[in-house]
């Protein structure tokens, strides 16, 4: 059997290939060879196989005298004498009607026979994948433009699909892409990778990226998974599971850094078809038991993540990886790896932000892809055969996309698909094109009508929304170059985990306020006591919802702990190793009552703002078991996941005696101040926190000013009093005097003071006052960070000049 190194070699085994052989076997096959050759020794499992070389492709063209005929057809297309569709069809027909050269055919047969011997099978099942010589380079994203064939068995079938792979070098989308990018058609060749199939039809498969595919955040591994063969995940034909793992902790076997686990609906799965059928694979409905289960165990998620980190380190580049689990062997394999081609090419020095300026009627919701907003008229397209109906600048609405859709996707204002996850075709292409997309938007084709004007918003977190009508929005460009350094620590106020990922590029040194309320209200949605005291829940409807929502968790309490812990961990990951200060729950009783099952556990108060909130709840027998869930979530984040950069903050702590009770309850729940580097802060939002700052400083590691509540309680004005809104001013001298007093006392006691209230975000001059007063940190809303940093740097320079004068 000949190898490609010989004069007429048509075959090379993967173990003889490396990343240097792209010009011989294309990027995909060179990468497979590199992994088998270099990474198997690190226990990364990759199925064996071989590749046809470009010599086989050129021999096919020569045997059938195709080069001149192809060039004539392409020239006619360039001269606009014929359409792209007719050109592609005519070229592919030439390939399919051709004959495989005898010596090429013999080489493929012999290699297949050897693969059968390696796996001790008569007719081994293989996947045949196209690999073009210019694809899978960081600057050239050819992924998905050529064909792949699964569950191919027997020499004759293999020869047939090799010919089909050759023909797929001239799919319409591939021709158009090469024209656009300036690649010469006749200088690009195609190799076919023949690889032992992984029996993921009996288990599951999917894709992963070694960065966050929406924000480009580099410190995570994002894994999508579905039951059956992987084509459904790649094409976006199902809504898959999604798992996110924090990369820097993967070297520590004692940690469990899975920061997200979201169960997808996984409506269908691709499996082997019976031999007598025309197609080797088919889609079937996923059994209910599998739809309601995660595809991978935590151990398997971490193993895949560790492999992906090794692969990324080897290639020195963010990677896009396909994986599959063999149901017969109960073992996971890597089947493809290619460079990630979207975020790795973007500059980290700039970012655009989009903000909706008005509310509107939400029509459909799904996963947001990108962070932009777009307005346009709906254009519902049911299938690729109807894409000529698409109107440029419209919002494309369809079930799912594949590479055939790319020509119209490029002309869309936004994309909405009913199916797919964050690694689906629609998601990947929309990111590459820089347009907003919403995937997995249930019933989008029914709810959105042709010609209807809509606003597509991906700027509100991990959920994207389609609104009726044209809503006003603001677009800003943020230049992250030449941002001045400041002595004052600039931090972020964050509630939503996805927002934390979105703003990772901002030059902030931690999170000064991570709001637990967002996670409880928007993710968990159930009152803590309705979980710990489920048997006492009177509302039958609430009880049924709680049962449904907590299904699949070890216990109802674990539902709360896991969702809260993963949300906090995501925020902590976005700023690691800088500190992330998590404020324990600070709902008012009326807000708690609005949670599922909550009304019966909450008293009705005339003024909830000044009632049973913050610290007073934590040690109360009426809420202690609810607070214990919060503590268990924090412990999971710090001890099991490894985020010891998480600090906790106690809100609305009225007296030093109350502080003692809270610290005692924290210790009873395993959160002992000073142990495992745990720091506990207190909000300074009540005048007593400042008037008795010395006593509070002996109990806590630092202060964080809540300017809204402090202003409310000093001026005697409710934050919600519209008629008194003009009087509600944090820059009143009485407020400033208290802030200066706190900073002075805290510093005398060796304690830092920060601020997490709205005032410095809304008013850079208030930030300037804080700097002049000696504040240690300022925590801001993300969109005000750069403006405030520049003003803070100016004031610090002024202070420095005065001190040196």
CA angle at 200 for the pair 49 and 121, rounded to the nearest 5°: 45
3-class SS string, 207-269: EEECCCCCCCCCCEEEEEEEEECCHHHHHCCCCCEEEEEEHHHCCCCCCCCEEEEECCCCCEE
**What do you get for the CA distance between the two ends of the chain, in Å?**
84
CA atoms of 340 and 346, how far apart (whole Å): 11
Distance of alpha carbon 282 from the chain centroid: 29
584-593: b (≥16 Cβ within 10 Å) or e:
bbbbbbbbbb
599 touches 593 (CB < 8 A): yes
Matching residue, tokens 């045997």? 63
577 prior amide bond cis, ω within 30: yes
CA atoms of 649 and 669, how far apart (whole Å): 15
Residue 316 falls in which region: left (phi positive, over 0), alpha (psi -120 to 50) or beta: left
Comparing CA positions, the residue from 89, 228, 231, 26 lying closest to residue 149 is: 231
Tokens of 535: 């048997």
Neighbours of 192 (CB within 10 A): 30
CA angle at 774 for the pair 769 and 777, rounded to the nearest 5°: 90
- Greatest Cα pair distance in the chain: 93
Tokens of 283: 């889609």
CA atoms of 226 and 324, how far apart (whole Å): 10
91-107: b (≥16 Cβ within 10 Å) or e:
bbebbeebebbeebbeb
Is 425 considered catalytic here?
Answer: yes
The torsion defined by the Cα of 300, 305, 311 and 316, in degrees rounded to 10, comes to 180
Annotate 435-479 with DSSP letters as a single string. --EEES-TTHHHHS-TT-EEEEE--SSSEEEEEES---EEEEEEE
Secondary structure class of 85 (helix, strand, coil): helix
- Catalytic choice (256, 425, 498, 527): 425
190 touches 205 (CB < 8 A): no
460 touches 445 (CB < 8 A): no
CA atoms of 346 and 477, how far apart (whole Å): 14
Residues identified as active-site = 425, 756
């Amino acid at each position: 059997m000949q190898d490609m190194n010989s004069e007429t070699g048509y075959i090379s085994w993967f173990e003889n290939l490396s990343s240097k052989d792209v010009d011989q076997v294309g990027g995909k096959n060179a990468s497979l060879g590199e992994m088998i050759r270099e990474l198997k020794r690190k226990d990364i499992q990759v199925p064996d196989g071989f590749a046809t070389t470009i010599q086989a492709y050129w021999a096919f063209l020569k045997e059938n005298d195709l080069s001149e005929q192809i060039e004539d057809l392409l020239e006619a297309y360039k001269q606009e004498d014929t359409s792209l569709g007719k050109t592609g069809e005519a070229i592919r027909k030439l390939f399919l009607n051709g004959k495989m050269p005898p010596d090429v055919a013999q080489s493929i047969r012999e290699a297949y026979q050897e693969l059968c011997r390696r796996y001790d099978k008569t007719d081994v099942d293989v996947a045949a994948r196209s690999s073009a010589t210019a694809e899978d380079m960081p600057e050239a994203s050819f992924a998905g433009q050529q064909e792949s064939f699964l569950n191919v068995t027997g020499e004759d079938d293999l020869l047939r699909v090799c010919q089909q792979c050759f023909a797929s070098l001239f799919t319409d989308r591939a021709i158009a892409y090469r024209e656009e990018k300036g690649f010469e058609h006749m200088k690009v060749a195609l190799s076919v990778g023949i690889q032992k199939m992984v029996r993921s039809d009996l288990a599951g498969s999917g894709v992963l990226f070694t960065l966050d595919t929406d924000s480009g955040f580099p410190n995570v591994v994002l894994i999508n998974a579905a039951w059956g063969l992987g084509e459904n995940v790649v094409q976006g034909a199902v809504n898959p599971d999604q798992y996110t793992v924090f990369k820097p902790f993967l070297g520590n076997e004692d940690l469990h850094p899975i920061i997200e686990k979201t169960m997808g609906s996984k409506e269908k799965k691709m499996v082997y078809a019976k031999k007598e059928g025309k197609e080797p694979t088919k889609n079937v409905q996923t059994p209910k038991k599998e739809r309601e289960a995660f595809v991978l165990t935590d151990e398997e998620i971490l193993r895949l993540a560790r492999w992906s980190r090794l692969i990324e380190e080897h290639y020195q580049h963010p990677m896009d990886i396909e994986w599959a689990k063999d149901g017969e062997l109960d073992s996971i394999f890597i089947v493809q790896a290619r460079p990630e081609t979207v975020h790795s090419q973007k500059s980290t020095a700039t970012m655009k932000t989009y903000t909706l300026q008005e509310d509107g009627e939400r029509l459909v919701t799904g996963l947001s892809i990108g962070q932009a907003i777009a307005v346009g008229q709906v254009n519902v397209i049911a299938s690729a055969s109807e894409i000529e109906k698409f109107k440029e600048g419209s919002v494309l609405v369809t079930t799912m996309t594949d590479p055939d859709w790319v020509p119209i996707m490029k002309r869309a204002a936004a994309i909405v698909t009913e199916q797919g996850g964050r690694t689906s075709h629609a998601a990947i292409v929309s990111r590459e094109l820089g347009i907003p997309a919403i995937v997995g938007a249930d019933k989008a084709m029914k709810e959105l009508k042709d010609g209807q004007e809509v606003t597509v918003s991906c700027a509100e977190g991990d959920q994207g929304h389609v609104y009726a009508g044209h809503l006003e929005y603001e677009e800003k460009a943020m230049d992250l170059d030449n941002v001045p350094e400041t002595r004052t620590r600039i931090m972020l106020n964050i509630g939503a985990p996805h927002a934390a990922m979105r703003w990772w590029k901002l030059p902030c040194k931690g999170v000064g306020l991570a709001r637990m309320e967002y996670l409880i209200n928007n993710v968990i949605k159930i009152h803590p006591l309705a979980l710990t005291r489920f048997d006492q829940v009177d509302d039958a409807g609430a009880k049924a919802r709680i049962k449904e929502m907590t299904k699949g968790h070890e216990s109802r309490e674990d539902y709360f702990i896991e969702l809260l812990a993963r949300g906090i961990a995501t925020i902590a990951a976005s700023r690691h190793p800088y500190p992330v200060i998590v404020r324990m729950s600070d709902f008012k009783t009326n807000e708690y009552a609005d949670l599922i099952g909550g009304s019966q556990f909450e008293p009705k108060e005339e003024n909830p703002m000044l009632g049973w909130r913050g610290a007073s709840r934590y040690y109360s027998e009426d809420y202690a078991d609810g607070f214990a869930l919060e503590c268990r979530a924090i412990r999971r984040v710090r001890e099991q996941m490894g985020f010891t950069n998480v600090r906790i903050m106690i809100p609305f702590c009225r007296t030093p005696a109350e502080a003692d009770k809270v610290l005692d309850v924290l210790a009873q729940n395993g959160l002992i101040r000073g142990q495992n580097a745990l720091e506990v802060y207190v909000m300074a939002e009540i005048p007593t926190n400042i008037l008795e700052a010395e006593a509070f400083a002996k109990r806590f590691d630092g202060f964080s000013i809540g300017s809204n509540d402090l202003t409310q309680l000093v001026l005697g004005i409710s934050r919600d009093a519209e008629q008194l809104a003009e009087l509600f001013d944090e820059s009143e001298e009485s407020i400033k005097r208290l802030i200066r007093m706190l900073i002075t006392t805290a510093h005398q006691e060796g304690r830092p003071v920060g601020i997490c209230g709205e005032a410095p975000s809304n008013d850079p001059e208030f930030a300037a006052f804080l700097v002049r007063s000696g504040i240690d940190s300022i925590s801001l809303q993300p969109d005000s960070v750069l403006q405030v940093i520049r003003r803070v740097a100016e004031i610090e320079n002024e202070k420095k000049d005065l001190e040196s004068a």
